[in-house]
Amino acid sequence: MPYPVFLGAYVPLAVGCALADKLNGRKHVSLAFVGEGSTSEGDFHDGLNFAGVLESPCVIIVQNNQWSISVPASRQTAAATFAQKAVAYGLPHERVDGNDIFAVYDTVKKAVDRARAGGGATLIEAVTYRILDHNSADSSAVYRTEDEAEYWKTLDPVERFEKYLFTQGVLDQATKTAIEERAEKRLREEIDRGRAVPPTSPDDMFLHHLQGEAGWSVKHQRDELACELAGGNPFLDMTGEGMQ
Annotated catalytic sites, by residue?
130, 134, 143
| The pairing of beta strand 58-64 with beta strand 30-35 | parallel
- CB-based contact 61:108 (threshold 8 Å): yes
Run of H or E including 30? strand 30-35
Report the distance separating Cα 74 and Cα 81, nearest Å.
10
Q: Where are the beta strands (DSSP E) in 98-143?
A: 122-127
User: Which residues make Cβ contacts (< 8 Å) with residue 1, sequence separation at least 6?
Assistant: 13, 208, 209
Q: What is the DSSP track for 33-93?
A: EEEGGGGGSHHHHHHHHHHHHHT--EEEEEEE-SEETTEEGGGT-SSS-SGGGGGGGT--E
